[in-house]
Amino acid sequence: MSKRIGVIGGGQLARMMIVPAIHLGLELKVLAEAEGSPATVAATMVGDYNQLDVVREFAKTVDVITFDHEHVPLSVLRTLEQEGISVQPPSAALAFAQNKLHMRQRLTELGLPMPAWAEIKTAEQLERFIAENGGVAILKTPIGGYDGKGVRVVRTSADAAEWLSAEGLAKVGGSLLAEEKVDFVRELAQLSARTPSGEFKAWPLVQTVQQDGVCAEVLAPAPGASEEILARTAEIARGVAEGLGVTGVLAVEMFEARDGRLIINELAMRPHNSGHFSIEGSVTSQFEQHLRAVSDLPLGSTASRAAHAVMINLLGVDDENDFVRNYAKAMKDQPEAKLHVYGKSARKGRKMGHVTVVHEDSSQALAVARAAAEILRHGN
Amino acid sequence: MSKRIGVIGGGQLARMMIVPAIHLGLELKVLAEAEGSPATVAATMVGDYNQLDVVREFAKTVDVITFDHEHVPLSVLRTLEQEGISVQPPSAALAFAQNKLHMRQRLTELGLPMPAWAEIKTAEQLERFIAENGGVAILKTPIGGYDGKGVRVVRTSADAAEWLSAEGLAKVGGSLLAEEKVDFVRELAQLSARTPSGEFKAWPLVQTVQQDGVCAEVLAPAPGASEEILARTAEIARGVAEGLGVTGVLAVEMFEARDGRLIINELAMRPHNSGHFSIEGSVTSQFEQHLRAVSDLPLGSTASRAAHAVMINLLGVDDENDFVRNYAKAMKDQPEAKLHVYGKSARKGRKMGHVTVVHEDSSQALAVARAAAEILRHGN
């Protein structure tokens, strides 16, 4: 059993992992990118995770390495693994998180539900894909994109001329990924966890509401999802986790298409924004489960603590409001709301915190969470 | 509003305050007694809290001072207060926590339910009290006692001869406290919180089960307590908090006497072992509420998250077992149990952690918590 867990990356996900480490009495160390990161209280080292020497030095202080993000170079992780260090999820799994084209290829081989997609190296290939898919495509850079970056809707290859140039293609590994623009009725996320020993547990499916490509609200469980859908999405997550060899928490973002298909959109091999509800909403939070999983400890119950949970993101409204300054009114008006602020300086659009409300009544949960978020954003 | 909270004392209570500080984005600093304390992750300073200079230096780094324990000398705290530092609870309230005789005197003046009691300076006074109270008394040192220390059952003054000697009395401030040995059916604890602005909230009354003078189990809410009793104990807590000027979390330990009386036994002016259930059992934990209260922020909801919560203490079984080493089996067998370990080295009898289970069924909660605790203690 591993007791000392090392997290690469000092963002809010690492920050929220500190909580179960404190409760469980596990030692958590963080390799942060910079001083003053959200996870600073557990930051035992500050350095560049792209540098093998830095990561190797950090790895010496812990029993297992895990992540706040998926950006550590595979070459660094493979070297650590060759040196006998436990990396969870392993580099072989992260390879799919770091390259959306490889992810689509492998998930297709596994028979998991995909949109139509194609590897694109030329304008002609893109034009053909667009023509075959209703005159529109989602074009993605296979590497480096997140929260809507590296993604665009194209109706002609001219919409992506610079991505298709020799320099543009060279930057992203030589090809682009074109995907069907799914006509979806809503977006869903299936959170799960898997241990190196192979234990797997899923939380109830959630609905995510995106605004401008960023998660705005999460409804747990997904409203109106039948037992059959809940079972199917949990099995999809199991297929992804086992098929790609993922350990720790895995978030599978999905579309519910108008024609009834469930289609895998994105993967995250770490705790994920769509799982923040689980801190208060579940017997075991995604952060505790991640620590258990990467340490190869048995997984905790993913049962819900109440009929409904609603999570609303606090995105920076300007360069001044840290949300804490509006606590007095928010706490007074909404004593049931659970407020989370990540200790980041204010910046418009930045993920700076979130609000969760659990309740037996879904509309009440939503109303309280929205009211609290609104006060935190605008002071009234 | 205060954002930087300083906690004097680095024990498990300070450790568990770190969690809501992380969630709320409040800055928590700890003045620890020694390196490697349970709250070490937030320990910004190590030093002797009996030294004014040490505490004053620590106080400069925060906006409000609060406590992991009640042992900081009043003279130190009064000096800080005179220098304009916010101390919560204030020294005027802590004076009653530090001296059980003064506590009895003041609570009696307030008309709150007391056992028969008397200040004792001589063997004759003690003999008289024993004779008037059924041939037995609980004798306490007014200062310095906790978890059964500084308390003994006496049937004759000879049972406390050394306490009654001139040297013995000098050590404890010149007098002892004799109390009626209450014939109780069970012990209860009423947890509450109060802000400097005067807002007050109580959690549901709990039953505490003591073994060898140490809390072993807590049942929340107290089984079979009527609405009338719940209202009465909450009002007793309000009377204590307002009467003594307590801020932050207050635990009022009570006896339910065989004759039906509710009698105040002990007070704790800080988060308390009887309130650990609230981490999972309540919308707002005692640790979050304490941070809100001492920062004079509005208090969170004290509503229960489930019908029942059971908390069982993990007392050290020997000098080897850190409880973490039995996690694999405990987590596998009891995935609903919430495990808490404080990062202390193993020592027989030491409070090293606790287990909480919340459940709609009280006997199920108790069974799961006991099973998990038993595995953690003995590995099976």
Smallest Cβ distance to B328: which of A1, A15, A279? A1
| B165 at interface of A, judged by CB pairs closer than 8 A | no
Q: Check: pTM over 0.90? Answer yes or no.
A: yes
Contact B284 A23 (CB under 8 A): no
User: Percent of chain B scored above 70 by pLDDT?
Assistant: 98
Please give the average per-residue pLDDT across A7-15, as a whole number: 98
Q: Is the pLDDT of residue A336 over 70?
A: yes
Per-residue pLDDT tens digits for B65-85? 999 999 999 999 999 999 999
Q: Which of B4, B7, B22 is the best mutation test for A, with the most CBs of A within 10 A?
A: B22
Per-residue pLDDT tens digits for A270-280? 999 999 999 99
Q: Exposed, middle or buried by CB within 10 Å (0-12, 13-18, 19+), for A60?
A: exposed
Q: Is the pLDDT of residue A145 over 70?
A: no
User: Percent of chain A scored above 90 by pLDDT?
Assistant: 93
Residue B172: pLDDT band by 50, 70, 90 thresholds?
A: confident
Contacts of B284 (CB under 8 A, 6+ apart): A335, B278, B292, B299, B300, B301, B302
Q: Is the pLDDT of residue A2 over 60?
A: no
| B301 at interface of A, judged by CB pairs closer than 8 A | yes
Q: Is the pLDDT of residue A154 over 70?
A: yes
pLDDT, greater one: A207 or A3: A207
Q: Is the pLDDT of residue B148 over 80?
A: no
Residue B312: pLDDT band by 50, 70, 90 thresholds?
A: very high
Per-residue pLDDT tens digits for B263-289? 999 999 999 999 999 999 999 999 999
User: Percent of chain B scored above 90 by pLDDT?
Assistant: 93
> Coil, strand or helix: which one is B32?
strand
Residue B380: pLDDT band by 50, 70, 90 thresholds?
A: confident
Contact A25 B303 (CB under 8 A): no
Smallest Cβ distance to B328: which of A18, A298, A358? A298
| A311 at interface of B, judged by CB pairs closer than 8 A | no
Q: Which of B19, B23, B278 is the best mutation test for A, with the most CBs of A within 10 A?
A: B23
Q: What is the pLDDT of residue B252?
A: 98
Q: Exposed, middle or buried by CB within 10 Å (0-12, 13-18, 19+), for A363?
A: exposed
Contact B336 A42 (CB under 8 A): no
Please give the average per-residue pLDDT across A194-216, as a whole number: 95
Sign of CA dihedral B117, B118, B121, B125: negative
Instruction: Work out the minimum CA distance from B5 to partner chain A, whole angstroms.
Output: 14
| Minimum CA–CA partner of A27 in chain B | B343
Please give the average per-residue pLDDT across A297-305, as a whole number: 98
Contact A342 B279 (CB under 8 A): no
Q: What is the pLDDT of residue B145?
A: 61
Are the beta carbons of B290 and B201 closer than 8 angstroms? no
Q: What is the mean pLDDT of chain A?
A: 95
Q: Is the pLDDT of residue B1 over 60?
A: no
| Minimum CA–CA partner of A305 in chain B | B305
Contact B299 A331 (CB under 8 A): yes
Contacts of B313 (CB under 8 A, 6+ apart): B214, B215, B216, B217, B273, B351, B353, B354
The radius of gyration computed from the CA coordinates of chain B, to the nearest angstrom, equals 21
Q: What is the pLDDT of residue B282?
A: 98
Q: What is the pLDDT of residue A146?
A: 58
Smallest Cβ distance to A283: which of B322, B336, B342? B336
Q: Which residues of B touch A339 (CB under 8 A)?
A: 23-24
Q: What is the mean pLDDT of chain B?
A: 95
Q: Which of B1, B7, B18, B24 is the best mutation test for A, with the most CBs of A within 10 A?
A: B24
Run of H or E residues at B308: strand B308-315
Are the beta carbons of A147 and A214 closer than 8 angstroms? yes
Instruction: Work out the minimum CA distance from A195 to partner chain B, whole angstroms.
Output: 12
Q: What is the pLDDT of residue A147?
A: 57
Domains of chain A in sequence order:
4-87 (3.40.50.20), 116-179 (3.30.1490.20), 184-378 (3.30.470.20)
Contact B327 A42 (CB under 8 A): no
Q: What is the pLDDT of residue B147?
A: 57
Q: Which residues of A touch B301 (CB under 8 A)?
A: 335-336
Per-residue pLDDT tens digits for B226-247? 999 999 999 999 999 999 999 9
